[in-house]
Amino acid sequence: MKKSYIITLLLSCGLLGSCGDDFLSIVPETQLSSATFFTKEADFQQAVNAAYVPLRTIFNDRSWLLSEMHSDNTYYARNPAFGATEQQEDLADFALPEANGVTSNTHVLNQYRQDYLIIARTNQILSTIDKIEFSADSKNNIRGQALFLRAFAYFELARYFGKVPLHLEPVTNRSEAALPLSSEEDVYAQIIKDASEAITLLPVKSKQQAGRATSGAARTLLANVYIVQKKWAEAEKLLKEIVASNEYSLIPDYANVFSTSTGNKNNQESVFEVQFLEGSAGLNGNFLYQFMPRNILANELVTITGTTNPQPLSGEGNNIPTPDIIAAYEPNDARKDVSVGYITLSSSARQNKVYPYIKKYAKPHALHDNHGMNWPVYRYSEVLLFLAEALNEQGKAGEAATFLNQVRKRAGLGDASGDLREAIYKERRVELAFENKRWFDLVRTGRAIATITAYGNRIKANPQAYYYPEGTAPRSHAFSNIKVFYPLPADEAALSPHF
Amino acid sequence: MKNKLLQKTRYWYILPLLLLLLSTGARAQNTSIKGKVTDEQGSGLPGVTVLVKGTTNGTATDATGAYSLNVPGGTGTLVVSFVGYQTKEVAINNQSSINITLAPDAKALEEVVVVGYGSQLKKEVTGAVQTVSAKEIKDIPVSQVTQKLQGRVAGVQINQATGKPGQGMSVRIRGQLSVSGGSDPLYVVDGFPITGGIGALNPDEIEDISILKDAASTALYGSRAANGVVLITTKRGKIGQTNVSVSAYGGIQQVPEKGRIDMLDAVEFATFKKEYYEAEGKPVPDVFQNPSQYEGKNNDWYDALLRTAPIQSYNLTVTSNKDRVNTALVLGVFDQQGVVLNNKYQRFSGRLNTDYTVSDKVKVGLNIAPSYIFDNTPRTDGDRGTGILFNALHTWPIMPIYDENGELTKFNTFPANTGNIYNYPNWVRAAEELVNENKITNLLSNAYLEYRPIKDLVLKSTINIELYNNKFFFFNPSTATSSINVAIPTTAVSIRENFSNTTWLNENLATYSKSFNEHNFELLGGFTNQRFRMDRTRIQADTYADDRLPTIQGGLNINRGGTTSGVEEWALTSLLSRLTYNYKGKYLFTASIRSDGSSRFGSENRWGTFPSASIGWVVSDEGFMQNFSKLNFAKLRASYGVTGNNNIGNYTQYALVNNTINAAFGNTVVPGAAVTSLANSNLGWETTKQFDVGMDLGLFDDRIQFMYDYYNKTTTNLLYSVQVPQEAGFGNFNDNIGEINFWGHEFAVTTRNTEGKLKWTTNANISFNRNKVVALAEGINRVYGTYHITKVGEPFGQFYGLVKEGLYMNQADLDNSPKVPGRSTVGSIKLRDVNGDGIITNGGDNDDRTIIGNPFPDFTYGITNNLSYGKFDFSIVGSGAHGNELLVRHLYSTANLDGVFNMVDGVKYRFRSPENPGKGKFGTTVGGGNVTGIERDWMSTHFLEDASYFTIKNITLGYSVGAVNKFFKSARIYGSVQQAYVFTKYTGGPNPETSGNTAGNGDGGNLSQGIDLSNYPVPRTFTLGVNVNF
């Protein structure tokens, strides 16, 4: 009797196949797991593609807040009917809440996190790619892109924060998650190492899929790093290599420099762009909408966007060109009307209902709040201006002027006059207006504190000129915390024992 | 022994033959016995079992207590038994008329209690187990069994977070909470731990419910036991009887006026706005110039969504336990229209339970319970923008619900200079025109084979299968939306989602029982295998040319992101064993152990073992207790055990690669993939070690029964997605961390206050649950939620924010007080400078926030009174909680002093000037969001209210009639009021039991309890019902 019982048990065990560890090994069917990924070339191709993805968020939602609107080029258009706008206003007003060297500002936090997302994804690639055999060309290309992106992310972090944790290997468990802050010097050393290696690994633009990092992009990035470090000769060498490559040229009409929603992407002047794609795949941008003064009615908005389904926008508009940047254009500068447009908001609380807006990206597209304009990160005109600056700082004013004047000529202007250094600075401001260069230029040239203090005083003296409706004024703590580095994000500080 | 077995075998052969003879008219050979069974007062007792001893030949008395029975040969003994009476045996001796008087049996403790993998005499139970029989809760007119249990069980807090029919019950046994794993108890129906929840189960199918609370009772459920176990036993026939009963009730539901949030009406709103602009020194927009123009034109958007709605329920129950077949059939129809427009919940259910005794060695059984549920629930609940009730609440009352033609408006908006920054769609349309349907088909089945090779050994194999299918259909036509600030016409969206779950469980158990010299042993051993799989597909389409055809192909666009499929699967293999021993039924001992291997656990940590032991001492059986004659029963219990919680997700241990992180280059889309989570091959269950001591007392011949339990448990290895600094590239690491200590006291008392003609019994219980976080992850001593903090040394999930001191009453007050730099003004909210740095800050580790409230009650309690007088019966059930706070979350919109939304009545008493400071709750409107935003957006005591309550859950008055004729055994009619009255000081909304969750940094469901988002209100229900037995 007992025997038959045992047999019954064994039978049911065997029939149901359920007594071993096989029964208990259930791996996810609808998601790949790390155990099976990173085993073939296509996996690394996908991995490097994903490493570009945070750039969309950074450039659509953050960079312009932390750099352009955090300068005298743009401001917000106060809408007193709308609250919960401190996060943006604090950036434009240099009024970040700060305690113990950290800030609770969400944009600072998200910029930081998105950069580290790029770093984690590239670290994963760089640490595993050599374990898998595949063609050297492809492997070099992927490694080069990963190194470029990692250098790019650390360069952003170094410029925003100075000291940051330096992760170069993928994190595999909780104890590895937080690292101590590395010195700015060490971070820059790594950026230079990565970018230099990327230059050797990446193909030139004409040999690379349009939109991906190229050796030209890596050279520009590294030259930018050297310029920040005032290593002018090193920068000059790299920039001249770019010019000599014949991969890039200025587009004759400044109006044609910027991509449309579906075309003119990665054009002859483009060195590196963040790629957006309009449509429902979730690869689109909507920064144009964030740059609109508000409240704006559907029939007003449609004159700019041309969509089939315009919707009104409420809230507070950001990244609105200041009177300062508008005044910075010389008379007859062809770039002014391309860069700045005007819109009348019938529902504005101001007496003057006309607002400027950033026009250089305002290209018509199909659907509301969904567009495909790429964001220019490096353009050839900046290469020329970098080169002019690097030469001039080494006392080669004559050679420098030729590159500066190429850019001016395209804008319909004559040769530069007066102090060449100032002329280059001013040229950068208008040529690259609203391309997130202004704040970094002010910082690296040591002019940030003075310039912003004066700018803040102008706003406080005449708020209505800076889009405050009559009867409203800047907050009392506006321009009370003007510093060249951002404090580190509080939410990260709360999780890290190191800061 | 062998002889005995043979005899039995022979008998089983004979019986069917005899029955055959009986049914073919061989009546003359039998003695027909007639008689009447009465109580000591001489009243006939209906439904009494009369059985020939040692046979299945039996019957039940009719409504007058009469019975008749054919007895072959006229010999043997009649066994007469009835619940609540002492069983009596009478020799037949060829008598043809036997009248029997039964004496009441006060020893309710002799009841049998269903426990895990078996049953025990209640007297001999050594764990903390509480039972509720279906009889006690039969009149409660609600859809779910958990609703019926509210207030009934000590140590079990059952909250109705939302009034949505068929949804929203939160059941927490002994305050058990996981940080991020599930905290619901395990529901076991007829031995089958089900996976689909018990919502699909018709409460009328239930015979009784056992709630297992301590580790000794639950440890046999191993890695699923830590949250407690609810054992549900469905109906069976009573031996020798055939019963047919029909029960039906119908009623209406309403949302009481009391408790609704007092909002500004149209005139008051326009007055507020007028004053707002005047205070700011700005021109008053035309629409607010003359508030009295809105006299009689108020639009109560909240009320417009509500209606009086019917509820009805019909059940047919047939049970029969004759010959070798025990069958129960329950058919049910339940139909509840919601009190929110267009809300409907219907359930059609059937159950057929059959046991067939093949021989004295073999028994087989099959239970099949199919059900079908249809529900359509508008998107009522949710935060601002997503829940239409919240949205309706703060929609401007000057916005018309109906246009001048009596049609529902499409959406409402006012010029920007009026401060209107959102479009408000018509919420009535949102309720009526959006489709949000679930069609659930459920099949629960158990089959078993029981084999008794020798007298003391029972072998049992079961196969249990649960099939669950939910077809979800959502359609948002172009004419309506549940979201704020969407203009109409909007983009029509259609979603079709299909969930298909299959669970099977095979259990193989052996039970060996032996008694000798008053030593009683029972040994249980077995192994089980269970597997679950869910397949899910979802298709989303949008942009419809015609709202009348919401097919997928009717949409111009398939939404790529919304079109997905998925699989969830787990497997569990277990070995279990239990030894029960007692000596003389007086010294009790039980030990059990279960080992669970689970697919959810990491490869390095696949098996968990869960032991328990318990002892009991029936003190009242000792000789020395005979002097205490008032104390007729006393038992002391103690137990200790280890249980687990495996609600950690099916694939949490794996590092997952998301391969939809796509990029574009130029206009080309390329696939992208990245590791999005970290692997943890050590991931395991949460462990709870629980100690329990308790006692059960019976006084004055059980006129008073008392139960007390103290428990102390420690949960460790909590599954938590530990936040890591995102410099790692990940936000979280799933790990078993931390330690939480829980302890509490439970008291339950049952008294028979009066007996005789007026019978009055009272059941009352009260529970005190406490907890403290002992440790979190290494290096982490607190986890912030948006409104909560979980901090080492404190109870978890405490409200966290600033302390409101009042308002800055004048310039001197402002000058001399800490303030928010650049924001505080005279009349704005005044907060406490907790860190003493001279300014008020909100955010970071060293700001002015502190623990400001507790969402968990100091104690919960329930009381039930049952009275009967002659043919009348009356019962009243109440339940309550005391000492908890709720976060009145909707205030951030409904007290937005910028006049963006409609507001609560209280803003009429806001601060206007130092001379006219109002009531101190709401501050000045002057200064816009920079000033008012502090009060509105910073979590503070401003938002907290005491949510203590006591609710009269049910009042029922019934009248029974005896047998009308041969067919009607008995009948009863009754009327009841459900959710009769809520006693509370809480003003934040109608439902102080509510708790909505909100997503945010560090928020999990359990870490962020006690948020009132103005969910679906719980209606008051008036019903009339009838039960008829045939």
ipTM: 0.91
How confident is the model at residue B722, as a pLDDT? 81
- Sequence-separated (6 or more) residues with CB below 8 Å from residue B548: none
Token look-up 């007469």 returns: B80
Q: How many CA atoms lie within 13 A of B403 on its CB side?
A: 8
Say yes or no to pLDDT of B1003 above 80. Answer: no
What angle, rounded to 10 degrees, do the helices at A380-393 and A420-431 form?
160
**Do β-strands B564-583 and B242-254 pair in parallel, antiparallel, or remain unpaired?**
unpaired
Report which of residues B102 and A34 the model is more confident about.
Answer: B102
Q: Is B281 on the interface with A (CB under 8 A)?
A: yes
- B568 or B74: which carries more pLDDT confidence? B568
Query: How many other C-beta atoms are found inside a 10 Å radius of the C-beta of residue B997?
Result: 18
pLDDT of residue B22: 39
Using one digit for the tens of pLDDT, what is the confidence trace for A255-301?
999 999 999 999 999 999 999 999 888 899 999 999 999 989 999 99
Q: Tens of pLDDT along B575-596?
A: 999 999 999 989 999 999 999 9
Q: Is residue A330 part of a domain?
A: no
- pLDDT confidence of B2, banded at 50, 70, 90? very low
**Residue numbers in A near B726 (CB within 8 A):** 112-113, 116-117, 492
Q: What is the pLDDT of residue B731?
A: 86
What pairs with residue B1024 in β-bridges?
Answer: B250, B975
Residue A129 has pLDDT above 50, yes or no: yes
Q: Which of A21, A26, A278 should one mutate to test binding to chain B, selecting the residue with the greatest count of B CBs within 10 A?
A: A26
Q: Which of B657, B732, B789, B939 is the best residue to mutate to test the A interface, defined by the most A CB atoms within 10 Å of its own CB?
A: B657
Q: Which of A305-309, B615-619, B733-737 bottoms out in mean pLDDT, i.e. has the lowest?
A: B733-737
CATH number at residue A146: 1.25.40.390
Tell me the residues of chain A between 110 and 169 that have a Cβ less than 8 Å away from chain B.
112-113, 116-117, 119-121, 123-124, 164-165, 167
Residue with token string 């409240």? A295
The average confidence (pLDDT) of chain B is 89
**E strand spans, B883-920:** 885-888
State pLDDT tens for residues B799-821: 999 999 999 999 999 999 999 98
Alpha carbon of A482: minimum distance to chain B alpha carbons (Å): 16
Distance CA A293, CA A300 (A): 11
Does residue A450 lie in a domain region? yes
**For residue B889, is pLDDT > 80?**
yes
Disruptive mutation site among A19, A24, A371 for chain B (greatest number of B CBs within 10 Å) = A24
Cβ-Cβ contacts under 8 Å, A299 against chain B: none
What's the rounded Cα separation, in Å, for the pair A440 and A66?
10
Query: Which residues in chain B have Cβ-Cβ distances shorter than 8 Å to A23?
Result: 529, 531, 571, 573, 599
Q: What's the predicted TM-score (pTM) here?
A: 0.80
Task: Report A:468-497 residues touching B (Cβ under 8 A).
Answer: 471-472, 475-478, 480, 490-497
SS3 at position A92: helix
> How sure is the predictor about A349, in pLDDT bands with cuts at 50, 70 and 90?
confident
Among candidates A212, A491, A496 on the partner chain, residue whose Cβ is nearest the Cβ of B665: A212
User: For A323-341, how does the pLDDT look when each residue is reduced to its tens digit (9 = 90+)?
Assistant: 999 999 999 999 999 999 9
With bands split at pLDDT 50, 70 and 90, how would you rate the model's confidence at B20?
A: very low
Considering CB atoms only, which of B416, B573, B936 is closest to A19? B573
- Tell me which chain A residues have a C-beta less than 8 angstroms from the C-beta of B510: 5
| DSSP percent split of chain A into helix, strand, coil, nearest 5 | 50, 10, 40
With bands split at pLDDT 50, 70 and 90, how would you rate the model's confidence at A12? very low
CB contact under 8 A, A16 and B506: yes
Q: Please check whether residue B726 touches A, CB under 8 A.
A: yes
Query: Cα separations (Å) of B747 from B241, B863, B867?
Result: 38, 12, 22
Residue closest to B169 by CA, chosen among B179, B177, B158, B180 = B158
B28-101 has which fold? Immunoglobulin-like (2.60.40)
Location of structure tokens 């067939």: B356
Q: Which residues of A touch B453 (CB under 8 A)?
A: 1, 5
**What order of strands is seen across the sheet that includes strand B30-38?**
B66-72, B30-38, B100-101
Q: What is the CATH number of domain B110-241?
A: 2.170.130.10
Residue B111 to residue B216: CA distance in whole angstroms: 20
Q: Render A121-135 in DSSP notation, one character per residue.
A: HHHHHHHHGGGS---
Tell me the mean pLDDT in the region B170-189. Answer: 85
Of B565, B675, B733, the CB nearest to A34: B675
Distances (CA, A) of A40 to A46, B84, B965: 10, 75, 83
Say which DSSP state B408 is in.
B
B666, B780, B896 ranked by CB distance to A210: nearest: B666
| Residue B3 pLDDT exceeds 50 | no
B512 CB within 8 Å of a chain A CB? no
More confident residue, A232 or B963: A232
Show which of residues 906-965 on chain B sit within 8 Å of chain A, judged by CB atoms: 928-930, 932-933, 936-937
The answer to whether B502 contacts chain A (CB < 8 Å) is: no
The letter for the amino acid at B193 is P
User: With an 8 Å Cβ cutoff, are B823 and A12 in contact?
Assistant: no
Q: Which two tokens stand for residue B597?
A: 């291997």
B397 or B111: which carries more pLDDT confidence? Answer: B397
Distance from the B660 Cα atom to the nearest Cα atom in chain A, whole angstroms:
9
Note whether residue A8 is domain-resident: no
The answer on pLDDT for A239 being more than 50 is: yes
A positions 51-110 inside 8 Å of B (CB): 51-53, 80-86, 95, 97, 99-100, 102, 104
- Listing DSSP states for B70-105 in one string gives EEETT-SEEEEE-TTB--EEEE-TT-SB--EEPPB-
- Domain ranges for chain B: 28-101, 110-241, 649-682
Return the amino acid letter for B579: L
- C-alpha B656/C-alpha B803 separation (Å) is 43
Q: Does A450 touch chain B (CB under 8 A)?
A: no
Find the domain containing A410 and state its range: 41-278+375-493
The per-residue pLDDT for B4 is 43
Alpha carbon of B125: minimum distance to chain A alpha carbons (Å): 30
Tokens of A138: 């492809």
* A410 min Cα distance to partner chain B (Å): 26
Residue A374: count other Cβ atoms within 10 Å of its Cβ: 26
At residue A435, the pLDDT reads: 98
CA-based max dimension of chain B: 108
* Among candidates B557, B657, B665 on the partner chain, residue whose Cβ is nearest the Cβ of A275: B665
Give the residue from A102, A73, A107, A109 showing the smallest Cα distance to A90: A107
In order of A381, A487, B101, the CA distances from B80 in angstroms are: 104, 85, 10
| B666 contacts A52 by C-beta, under 8 angstroms | no
Given the structure tokens 């609440």, which residue do they identify?
B393
Does the CB of B1 have a partner CB in chain A at under 8 Å? no
Residue B110's pLDDT is what?
63
pLDDT of B73-85, one tens digit each? Answer: 778 888 888 766 7
> pLDDT tens for residues A104-124?
999 999 999 999 999 999 999
pLDDT value for A431:
98
In this model, does residue B1002 exceed pLDDT 70? no
Whether residue A311 lies inside any domain: the answer is: no
Q: Say yes or no for a CB contact (<8 Å) between B727 and A496.
A: yes
- Using 50, 70 and 90 to split pLDDT, how confident is the model at A226? very high
Total of domains in chain A: 1
B416 to A475: CB separation less than 8 angstroms, yes or no:
no
Q: Which pLDDT does position A14 carry in this prediction? A: 42
Size of the A and B interface in Cβ pairs below 8 Å: 294
DSSP state of B414: -
Closest CA in chain B for residue A15? B506
Q: Indicate the range of A312-316, B249-253, B694-698, B833-837 predicted with least confidence.
A: A312-316
Choose the closest CB to A24 out of B597, B667, B729: B597
Q: What is the pLDDT of residue B455?
A: 87
- Asked whether residue A96 is domain-assigned, the answer is yes
**pLDDT tens-digit profile of A50-73?**
999 999 999 999 999 999 999 999
Q: Alpha helix (H) ranges present in B719-810?
A: none
> What does residue A124 show for φ and ψ, rounded to 5 degrees?
-60, -45
On whether residue A324 sits in a domain, the answer given is no
> Chain centroid to CA A420: how far?
29
Query: How does A334-362 read in b/e, with b if 16+ C-beta sit within 10 Å?
Result: ebbebbbbebebebbbbeeeebbbbbbbb
Tell me which of A343-347, B228-232, B316-320, B732-736 is least confident: B732-736
Closest Cβ opposite residue B679 in set A34, A119, A480: A34
Q: Answer yes or no: are the C-beta atoms of B75 and B93 closer than 8 Å.
A: yes
Residue A410 is predicted with a pLDDT of: 97
Per-residue pLDDT, B17: 37
Q: Give Cα separations from B490 to B422, B455, B482, B493, B552 (angstroms).
A: 15, 73, 11, 9, 17
Residue A489 to residue A299: CA distance in whole angstroms: 40
Query: How are beta strands B88-91 and B206-212 bridged, if at all?
Result: unpaired
CA distance A443 to chain B (A): 25
Residue B678 has a pLDDT of: 84
pLDDT on residue A7: 43
Report the pLDDT averaged over residues B33-60.
Answer: 81
With 90 as the cut, is the pLDDT of residue A387 above it?
yes
Give just the sign of the alpha carbon dihedral B410, B414, B420, B422.
positive
Who has greater pLDDT, B78 or B442? B442
Instruction: Write the residue in A84, A277, A472 that is nearest to B669 by C-beta.
Output: A277
Name which of B726, B841, B937 is nearest A84 (Cβ-Cβ): B937
Put simply, whether B416 touches A (Cβ < 8 Å) is yes
The lowest-confidence range among A1-10, A157-166, A418-427, B855-864 is A1-10
Distance from CA of A10 to the nearest CA of B (A): 11
Paired tokens of A495:
């999780």
Of the candidates B712, B773, B715, which has an alpha carbon nearest to the alpha carbon of residue B745? Answer: B712
To the nearest whole percent, how much of chain A has pLDDT over 90? 81
pLDDT in the model for residue B5: 38
Q: What is the DSSP string of B144-157?
A: -HHHHTTTTSTTEE
Categorize the per-residue pLDDT at A1 as very low, low, confident or very high, splitting at 50, 70 and 90.
Answer: very low
Give the number of residues written for chain A.
Answer: 499
User: Considering CB atoms only, which of B461, B559, B900 is closest to A12?
Assistant: B461
Torsion angles phi and psi, residue B792, rounded to 5? -60, 135
Task: Report the pLDDT value the prediction gives residue A10, as an integer from 0 to 100.
Answer: 43
Q: What are phi and psi of A131, to 5 degrees?
A: -80, -15
Distance from CA of B679 to the nearest CA of A (A): 8
Please give the pLDDT value at position B139.
85
What is the distance between the alpha carbons of residues B1013 and B990, in angstroms, rounded to a whole number?
11
CA pair distance B573, B752, nearest whole angstrom: 46
Q: Flag the least confident range among A143-152, B139-148, B515-524.
A: B139-148
Report how far residue B403's alpha carbon sits from residue B405's, in angstroms, rounded to the nearest whole number.
Answer: 5
Mean pLDDT of B936-942: 93
State whether residue B834 sits within 8 Å of chain A by CB: no
pLDDT in tens, B271-317: 999 999 999 888 899 999 999 999 999 999 999 999 999 999 999 99
* pLDDT score at B628: 84
- Compare CB distances from B929 to A83, A113, A312 and report the shortest one's residue: A83
List CB contacts of A406: < 8 A, sequence separation 6 or more: A250, A384
Question: Looking at residues A440-453, what average pLDDT do you find?
Answer: 97
* A190-219 pLDDT, tens digit each: 999 999 999 999 999 999 999 999 999 999
Q: State the pLDDT at residue A11.
A: 43
A79-100: per-residue pLDDT in tens? 877 777 889 999 999 999 888 8
Residue A356 falls within a domain, yes or no?
A: no
What average pLDDT does this structure show over B338-363? 94
B95 pLDDT band, cuts 50/70/90, is confident
Q: Tell whether A327 is covered by a domain.
A: no
Q: A41 vs chain B: nearest CA distance in angstroms?
A: 13
pLDDT at B1004: 54
